[in-house]
Amino acid sequence: MAIFFNEETKMFYLEGKNISYIFGINFTGFPEHYYFGTRIGRDELAYTYEANIGDSAESAIPGQVHAGGKSYNVYRSEFSMYGNGEFRDCSFQMLFANGSRLNEFLYETHEILQEKPAIPGMPSMRGGQTLVLTLKDKNSEMRVRLFYTVYDDADVVCRHMEVENGTSEAVKLLRAYSFALDVYGAEHDLLTLENAWAREERPERTPLAHGTFCIDEKSASSTRRHAPAFALLDKDTTEHSGNALGVSLIYSSSFALKAQVSTKGYTRLTGGINDFDFAWVLGAGETFATPEVVLAYSDEGIGGMSRAYHDAYRKYLVNPRFASAPRPVVINSWEAVYFGCTPDRLLPIIDAVRGTGIDTFVLDDGWFGARRNDRAGLGDWVVSPEVFPEGLKPVIDYVHEAGMKFGIWFEPEMVNPDSDLYRAHPDWAIAVPGAEPCVSRRQLVLDITRADVRDYIVESVSKILRENEIDYVKWDFNRALTENFSCALPAEKQQEMHHRYALGLYDLCERLIGGFPHIFFEGCAGGGGRFDPAILYYFPQIWASDDTDAYMRTQIQHGTSIFFPLSAISCHTSICPNHQTNRTIPFKTRADIAHLGATGYELDTTKITPEEIEEVKTQVADYHEMEALVLDGDLYRLENTFDSNYFAMQLVSKDKKRAHITAMRALCRPNDEHKRIFPRGLDKNAVYEVVNEEYGLRLRLTGAAIMRVGLVLPLRTADNKMPGDFKTFVFKLTKVKG
Ligand code: GLA
């Protein structure tokens, strides 16, 4: 059993594979946090409590029931509301019809569910055992329900909250975060991920001081500036050791995540839907659900925390049909021809990769309406008769005849002002009446909070999917929302718009992705502008960045892998000089780095040499050899180009029988240091065969020797030349004994 309640002490013990999460109901009836970390017994932790209550100077509250006083300001809260002496950042605030904002939510009841209830209208983790804790407001008929889910085989705790208005009047939710958690200790670092177009997911580590550190997104696009995730680290936590507590929000719209160090030596973590420009009208009898947050813990450093997320997301978040399914190896038309996707340009590209093992051709932007450039056509999901006079069928047949599947690009949520759709329904685009809408990439966002707009999108996209033999869809989202306004909402509900946008998006995904279960959907947002767990719930892989430069990719993929498994990260080999950086990197390196994810190609294959086409064959075969590790292996980040001249990622099979290491020396330096990398996670008593095919290297070494002594990165090429910049080294390890 994963969830245990001690009636006598009123303590809840939530247990995962290697973790314990412990909280209890205190003397006032309020849930207080005790512990989240490495698995311990069901120890009685009340001995930590007196010290916590301490002095009562801040608890000027009538009806004190404890020698130290009742002061929410020092409670180690599982949930937190303003008032009653709480002066820290709360997870909840509401407005009653009479103007009061005061609540005091206390324990009413709880239940333990063997089946995890879905969150209405929102994606969430599946499976596990769930505790539902109901708190009732002392002064009203408002209730909150706190949900906790744990798994026998994962090191995560999933949390979210529901608010029920049992009063007879409408109230307003001013803040409804998904969770609050007061962690012991004031000396922590916070690991966050900064995002920007073409340089997504850059890790930043910040020492926390007293006060609040907040990352947030106001654009209804989850990862334009920050990933909706962070990790609380001890000062001595590294990639490979120490405590790491992760917070990852399953949400695709405007969010806020906060870490606040309080005067009593605790650090409060909280967050969820961004309460900036947010207010939700909750009618009498109505319930509001927050998105789910996934908390992970590891004492094996940032890497251990990542592996906890990878396992949990692969098992309980990604569509089970695709979680471990081999990914399509695509050739995508975008960097090959951009908007010039005419059959005479496409067919030779398809011809060039026949028999290479590339198995899916993806027709990117430019195939529909008047979309010959980014000025026109978005929203008009009809095949352009100008570009494809006979429709898509001849191209699709050609692709099939070449032994490949066919994929196609959509940007369902968008409209160009120069489009038939906009001319017919200008009010469907998000704008404030009387104000000029903010155009970005020459497009506007459709108001998918409206059912009629969603119906149009579902019908027009479905028509294309029904009428053509399509196996793969790339769903793009190329701009942020700039207005928090919907013409379809009454004035008092305008600040619900960004959350309603997320609900509208999830409805579209349910209907379009759910409606075509045989189609593989890839998420995309101008690169990685919406790379979040809610998108991963619907899209088994997500395009990580429009930056296909392999050096930049070592950083982008490193950062993205902190919260996401490699199978979620879509990576392409592209042409050189690279279109984003003008840098030239060896073809092999480009493929080796792209193979550390859901691999593919994105280049004009008529412009590469016959030798390179031959190389593609080997590359794809190599990928298939390591594919099982990409899909299900344990990831170890051994080196990264933020910190050094080297990059190395290692994948180890769960049974430790196989491992794959891709290492890279970024800049070639004459008379360089003798560099070794130190693999991890092997069976130290077993003997492995270590192979580097390029160098003809074949060694038999114990796991212990490999991990302790390391593997040497040659200074020269196999034919004894200086290797130049960005040389990769691939080691394949197979257990042969033990
Ligand atoms: C975005 C995507 C690209 C490509 C273009 C098409 O930028 O990230 O991969 O699909 O849109 O317009």
Give the distance (Å) from ligand 1 centre to CA of residue 563. Answer: 23
Q: Is residue 321 in a domain?
A: no
Kindly write down the DSSP assignment for every residue of 557-585, as one continuous string.
HHHHTTTS-GGGEEEEEE-SS-TTT----
Query: Which residue, by CA, sits nearest to atom 7 of ligand 1?
Result: 526
Looking at the fold, whether 382 and 302 belong to one and the same domain comes out as no
pLDDT given at position 71: 74
- Which ligand 1 atom is at minimum distance from the Cα of 543? 8
How big is the chain, counted in residues? 738
Rg (C-alpha) for the chain, rounded Å, is 27
What Å distances lie between residue 451 and 234, 252, 428, 446, 509, CA to CA? 47, 19, 11, 11, 14
Indicate which residue's Cα is closest to atom 1 of ligand 1: 526
Q: Are residues 350 and 302 in the same domain?
A: no
447 lines ligand 1 (CB under 6 A): no
Is 322 a domain residue? no
Shared domain for 628 and 645, answered yes or no, is no
* Residue 26 CB–ligand 1 contact under 6 Å: no
CA of 543 to the centre of ligand 1 (A): 9
pLDDT tens digits, residue range 532-555? 999 999 999 999 999 999 999 999
- Best residue among 337, 442, 478 to mutate for probing ligand 1's pocket (most ligand atoms within 8 Å of CB) is 478
Residues 514, 378 share a domain: yes
With a 6 A CB cut-off, is 543 part of the ligand 1 pocket? yes
Query: In ligand 1, which atom is closest to the CA atom of 478?
Result: 1
* Total number of domains in the chain: 3
- In the numeric block, which tokens belong to residue 11? 């303590």
579 and 668 in a single domain? The answer is: no
Using the atom order of ligand 1, give the atom closest to the CA of residue 474.
10
Nearest CA to ligand 1 atom 11: 526
- How far, in Å, from the CA of 526 to the mean position of ligand 1? 5
Mean pLDDT of 92-120: 97
Which residues span the domain enclosing 643? 639-737
Query: What is the CA(365)–ligand 1 centre distance, in A?
Result: 7
We report the CATH number of the domain holding residue 179 as 2.70.98.60
Q: What is the mean pLDDT of residues 205-211?
A: 98
Is pTM beyond 0.75? Reply is yes
Does residue 514 fall inside a structural domain?
A: yes
Name the residue at shortest CA distance from atom 2 of ligand 1: 526
Residue 372 has pLDDT above 60, yes or no: yes
Confidence of residue 65 (pLDDT cuts 50, 70, 90): very low
Domain boundary among 632, 665, 687: 632
Q: Is 364 in the pocket of ligand 1 (CB under 6 A)?
A: yes
CATH of the domain at 646: 2.60.40.1180
Q: Give distance in angstroms: CA of 524 to centre of ligand 1.
A: 8
Q: Please tell me whether residues 706 and 648 are part of one structural domain.
A: yes
CA angle 61–62–64, rounded 5-degree value? 85
Q: How far, in Å, from the CA of 407 to the mean position of ligand 1?
A: 14
Residue with the smallest CA separation from ligand 1 atom 4 is 334
The answer on pLDDT for 50 being more than 80 is no
Do 309 and 334 reside in the same domain of the chain? no
Contacts 24+ apart (CB under 8 A), 699-708: 700/736, 703/656, 706/679, 706/682, 706/733, 707/678, 707/679, 707/680, 707/682, 708/678
Within-domain flag for 324: no
What is the tens place of the pLDDT at every residue in 453-476? 999 999 999 999 999 999 999 999
- Rounded average pLDDT over 696-712: 98
Instruction: Identify the band that residue 66 occupies on the pLDDT scale cut at 50, 70 and 90.
Output: very low
Average pLDDT of span 5-12: 96
Per the CB < 8 A criterion, the answer to whether 331 and 349 are in contact is: yes
Say if residue 81 is in the same domain as residue 14. Answer: yes
CA separation for the pair 228, 42 (Å, rounded): 32
Same domain, 271 and 367: no
Which pair of tokens denotes residue 277?
């420009």
Q: Is residue 591 part of a domain?
A: yes
- Give yes or no for residue 89 CB within 6 A of ligand 1: no
147 touches ligand 1 (CB under 6 Å)? no
> Are 232 and 111 within one domain?
yes
Q: Which of 632, 650, 666 is the last residue in one of the domains?
A: 632
Q: Which of 259, 285, 316 is the last residue of a domain?
A: 316
* Co-location of 578 and 508 in the same domain: yes
The single-letter code of the amino acid at 274 is N
Tell me the pLDDT tens digit for each residue of 116-139: 999 999 999 999 999 999 999 999
The catalytic site residues sit at 476, 546
Instruction: Assess if residue 323 is contained within a domain.
Output: no
Answer yes or no: do 273 and 415 share one domain: no
